[in-house]
Amino acid sequence: MLNIILPDGSQRELADGASGYDLAASISEGLARNALAVTVNGEVRDLHRPLPDNAQVSILTWNDTAGKSTYWHSSAHLMAEALEALYPGVKLAIGPAIENGFYYDVDLGEGRSISSEDFPEIEKKMLELAKNKSQYIRKEVSKADAIAYFTEKQDPYKLELLENLEDGNITFYTQGGFTDLCRGPHIPDTGTIKAAKLMNVAGAYWRGDEKNKQLTRLYGITFPKAKDLAEYLERLEEAKRRDHRKLGKELKLFAFSEKVGAGLPLWLPKGTALRERLEQFLRRAQVKAGYSPVVTPHIGAKELYVTSGHYEKYGADSFQPIKTPNPGEEFFLKPMNCPHHCEIYKTEPRSYRDLPVRLAEFGTVYRYEQSGELHGLTRVRGFTQDDAHIFCRPDQVKEEFMKVIDIVLYVLKALDFPDFTAQISLRDPENKTKYIGSDENWEKAESAIQEAALEKGLNTVTEYGEAAFYGPKLDFMVRDAIGRRWQLGTIQVDYNLPERFDLEYTAADNSKQRPVMIHRAPFGSLERFVAVLIEHCGGNFPLWLTPEQFIVLPISDKYSDYAYQVKAQLEQHDLRGTVDGRDERIGRKIRDAEMGKIPYLLVVGEKEAQDNIISVRKHGEGDLGSMPLEAFVKSVQGQMAEVM
């Protein structure tokens, strides 16, 4: 008999040779019907593979991220099968699952291409094949047999992939008449794929190298129900309406200029006001939490980043060195703030009594992103991090880490991001060469993060291989109003930079000790955070944050003087707004103000001027009636006090 440990800690006995499907069936018929794959001791595996004894097993369904990923990986194989049927001789490269759906890179051959007009035919073929309910069959093969198969098939990309594989690590998956080189796992059969939609077609260089041939990358997504696809497409349309690039232009928040340079945003007056409000909000929280503000240059000597390790890891992908008239002297645009903060720490001797030292900076950094990867404010070449670095004693790490978690939670609450998961990002245990520092320091840092997250009661997931090169981190993965997932705030524990910069403090016994460094950025970067915020709220910013909280709309020019009096009185109460003094009909002014997503529209005419009142309209809600200015001020300030 097999002993299987379930996620809740309970145990279940199964016959030798039992599979994940057998386990699901022993729990309930419904679970067996909906099961897509299993995790066995943390590894995702095919549902029908035999289970080992004493394994920790979890059944994956469509409701699990890993379940969806397995489903979409299998769908990529189904699309490849359809492409081979429709485009004889097509050469296949790779076809992974992505966050929403999958893609497959293919070489169609000279003179052939795929456009959106071809999508319906491919989708139809996919669903036709899916109805066969073909099983995904796993087979271990020798390297020689694998080479022979793809040589006969004339698939050069698969042969190149085989070059780095060894016997014992090569598997084929077959469904219907299609066989692919693949590690898996896959869903049981194609029958659960009920709805398919091809989303996009693009060019992609083989293995991401522009020296290689450009392939056709075909993106798609599938669902177990047609209704799910319809809802997904509806969410995509909503995402287009909320696109921060579109709203940023309409609301006059930011712009880009080819003459300034790609990926370098220009903040317009309203966007600058929004950005400054965010900075002020966090600065106040930081002062209360004991942070000291600092400012560092936009450039640094090459040696600074060699010492920190950033040059070794990122130098080739950064902006190239800035040379000076002095031979051999080189500077770099600052890619990170942390090396500069290490040097600030070193400006004076530190005692154990001085720690923790908390240094905070809204520091602008520069990284050369490939032009094809630039995207509005979410992927830029120059951005400002709400960066802070805490230098503390080892016995202070957990307490300081928990205090930083409090700040991140405060930010997420104030900006109405209630749905988030804390991702504990650890080293890849199979490839430690990507990281700097000793195993001992990594183990201490990872334990501190895990304990702090547990004590704070955070909803966490653990991801191996997602750590920074110098230390593990806690990333806050936020879901926005239409269900998309974003990585915003981050906290990182670092034992390595203090060693590289030879940072010290004097302990109680007069010995010299290394401080521990905590990297912290609740927003991540202001640019990306603003982009996510715009799309989350559709441009309807929280009242305390929005650049213009009100606009006064005089019915005609006769009431402009009163309109400006209203504006002046509201500004005395720290409310922000403007007057629309254009010679336009009041209906046009209201429509334009609604389009501008200004929270409060204050209409003034003869009655309002005589009675010293305002007629209030709220964006998206309509007429709230007439009221004295004092009542309006009290109402607005009360709404902001609830958040702040």
Query: In whole angstroms, what is the distance from residue 404 CA to residue 387 CA?
Result: 12
Does 186 participate in catalysis according to the annotation? no
| Catalytic-labelled residue, pool 197, 217, 367, 567 | 367
Query: In whole angstroms, what is the distance from residue 158 CA to residue 141 CA?
Result: 14
Q: Which residues, other chains included, contact 270 with Cβ-Cβ below 8 Å and sequence gap of 6+?
A: 251, 252, 253, 547, 548
| Catalytic-labelled residue, pool 105, 155, 387, 475 | 387
Does 183 participate in catalysis according to the annotation? no
Does 473 participate in catalysis according to the annotation? yes
308-317 contacts, C-beta under 8 A, 24 or more apart: 308/336, 308/338, 308/339, 308/342, 308/497, 308/500, 308/501, 309/436, 309/469, 309/470, 309/496, 309/497, 309/500, 310/335, 310/336, 310/339, 313/469, 314/367, 317/367, 317/368
The CA-atom distances, in angstroms, between 317 and each of 320, 325, 366, 424 are 8, 24, 11, 26
| Terminal Cα distance for the chain, rounded | 59
| Catalytic-labelled residue, pool 189, 242, 334, 338 | 338
Query: In whole angstroms, what is the distance from residue 503 CA to residue 597 CA?
Result: 50
Closest C-alpha to 602, from 621, 584, 623, 588: 623
**Strand ranges (DSSP E) for 367-484?**
382-392, 420-426, 460-464, 473-479
| Catalytic-labelled residue, pool 125, 197, 358, 473 | 473
Query: In whole angstroms, what is the distance from residue 43 CA to residue 38 CA?
Result: 8
Query: In whole angstroms, what is the distance from residue 340 CA to residue 294 CA?
Result: 10
**What is the residue type of 107?**
D
| Catalytic-labelled residue, pool 313, 519, 589, 597 | 519
- Alpha carbon of residue 267 to chain centroid: 22
Closest C-alpha to 106, from 129, 122, 121: 122
Does 310 participate in catalysis according to the annotation? no
Query: In whole angstroms, what is the distance from residue 494 CA to residue 444 CA?
Result: 10
How many Cβ atoms sit within 10 Å of the Cβ of residue 404?
24
Closest C-alpha to 533, from 343, 277, 189: 277
Q: What is the DSSP string of 36-98?
A: -EEEETTEEEETTSBPPTTEEEEEE-TTSHHHHHHHHHHHHHHHHHHHHHHSTTPEE----EE
How many Cβ atoms sit within 10 Å of the Cβ of residue 34?
17
Contact 165, 183 (CB under 8 A): no
Which sign does the torsion angle of CA 373, 375, 380, 381 carry?
A: positive
| Catalytic-labelled residue, pool 197, 275, 340, 389 | 389
| Catalytic-labelled residue, pool 175, 385, 396, 549 | 385
**What is the residue type of 402?**
M
Q: Is 288 helix (H, G, I), strand (E, B) or coil?
A: helix
Does 385 participate in catalysis according to the annotation? yes
Closest C-alpha to 548, from 528, 570, 526: 570
Query: In whole angstroms, what is the distance from residue 10 CA to residue 30 CA?
Result: 20
Contact 38, 60 (CB under 8 A): yes
Does 389 participate in catalysis according to the annotation? yes
SS (H, E, C) 199-216: EEEEEEEHHHCCCCCEEE
Q: Which residues, other chains included, contact 59 with Cβ-Cβ below 8 Å and sequence gap of 6+?
A: 20, 23, 24, 27, 31, 35, 38
**What is the residue type of 462?**
T
State the Cα torsion 366-367-371-372 to the nearest 10°.
-130
Catalytic site residues? Answer: 338, 367, 385, 387, 389, 473, 519
